[in-house]
Amino acid sequence: MTAKKNFDYRRILALIVFCLCLALALPVQAAKNDEPVTTVILVRHGQTDYNKENRYQGFLDIPLNEKGLAQADQLAASLKDVHIDVFIASPLKRAYVTTEKCAKAKGMEISYTDERLKEINYGKWAGRSKKEIAETEPKASRLWQETPWKTRPPEGESLQELAARYRAALDDAVRRYPGKTIFIGAHSKGNMALLCNVLGIGLEHYLQFEQDNTCANVLKYKNGQWKLVLMNSISHTGKLYKGQNK
């Protein structure tokens, strides 16, 4: 009889402990499910003369040309009815001015610039045309054009390094502004590497992305998961995609 009582006591005690654990776990799970959605509008800058001339820009601080300024104005106008809480930009002029025009159109200012959002460092190739590099350094040029995830420009940066710093900048922004809509003005190669990273696909798929001047990408983040809502949209320029109607 005593053994049976002890056995029942242990069962009751175990049930109480289980219920307590469950009661503690449910609010944690509920809180996780209630995490607000953070939206990121990731944008590439407008056109520069170097874009037009097909030159490597990288860290060089090349300004927007006349067309690029017009593209930035078109993008800014398209955001009239889009709620945005914060504007963040690369410190390079072409991305900064594009972002600044968008912020001013909404009566806002850029909250901060982030050095990690600069374009890829092209090292010795910066300022030189792709045609020139292909003629003078054919092997290195071919490797970069065909398998960029396996190489890097001379004294430049790898895609892995680029993706890591862009992701760090993005993660910091999301932690700083949870549940907000964040506009990030950046660069094509950085955006392409970041899209690979947040979507969990390898950099060997990097060349399958395109980022046209002033294109908009929209990403949503919740509970550790990223969703791609929109990519490489240039509808604000009057075209659905680059090269349309050619």
- The answer as to whether 12 is a domain residue is no
Whether residue 86 contacts residue 183, with contact meaning beta carbons closer than 8 Å, is answered with yes
Q: What's the CATH code of the domain at 220?
A: 3.40.50.1240
Q: How far apart are CA 171 and CA 30, in angstroms?
A: 23
User: Does the residue 220 lie in any domain?
Assistant: yes
- Residue at 216 is within a domain: yes
Residue 231 lies in a domain: yes
| In-domain check, residue 200 | yes
Within a domain: 204: yes
Q: How many domains does the chain have?
A: 1
Tell whether 19 is covered by a domain. Answer: no
C-alpha distances (whole Å) from 115 to each of 95, 121, 159, 237 are: 12, 12, 16, 28
The SS3 of residue 137 is coil
Amino acid residing at 116: R
What is the pTM for the complete model shown?
A: 0.86
Residue written as token pair 């025009």: 101
45 a catalytic residue: yes
Q: Are 218 and 41 in contact (CB under 8 A)?
A: yes
**Residue in 119, 157, 187, 236 annotated catalytic:** 119
Tens-binned pLDDT, residue by residue, of the chain (246 aa): 454 445 456 666 656 656 565 556 555 444 456 789 999 999 999 999 999 999 999 999 999 999 999 999 999 999 999 999 999 999 999 999 999 999 999 999 999 999 999 999 999 999 999 999 999 999 999 999 999 999 999 999 999 999 999 999 999 999 999 999 999 999 999 999 999 999 999 999 999 999 999 999 999 999 999 999 999 999 999 988 888 876
> Which range of residues forms the domain containing residue 202?
36-237
Note if 83 is an active site residue.
no
Give the number of residues written for the chain. 246
